[in-house]
Amino acid sequence: MGKVFSFPVWLALSLVWTAAVAAYGYTTAPYVPLDVSSSDPATAEAFRAALTRHAVMFGLLAAVPPAIALVLGRLIRGRG
C-alpha cells in the first residue's frame, strides 16, 4: 500500500494535473475584444485586474491540490 503513495507517483500525477490546469487556464484567459479600445486607461486597468485574478485563481488551482495530496500521502504512508 505504501507504493501507491510514493513520491514519483505523486510527482507524475501532479505534473499531469498542472499541465491540464495550465491548458484550460490558457484557453480561458481573459482578452480584450476587437470592438473595445485597448488604449483606454479604464479598459486597460480592468483587463489587468481580470488577468491578475485569472492567473492567481489558476495558479492556486494548479498548486493546492498536489500540495494537499502530498501532505495526505505522507500522513497515510507514515502510519503504515
- The pTM of the full predicted model, rounded to 2 decimals, is 0.83
Which 8-state DSSP code applies to residue 36?
S
Q: Give residue 38's pLDDT.
A: 83
Helix (H, G, I), strand (E, B) or coil at 1: coil
Q: Distances in Å between the alpha carbon of 15 and those of 39, 57, 64?
A: 38, 18, 13
Instruction: Find out whether 29 and 51 touch, Cβ atoms under 8 Å.
Output: yes
Q: And the C-alpha cell for 14?
A: 501532479
Mean pLDDT of 16-30: 97
Q: Give residue 3's pLDDT.
A: 59
For residue 17, what are the contacts with CB-CB under 8 A and spacing of at least 6? Answer: 62, 65, 66
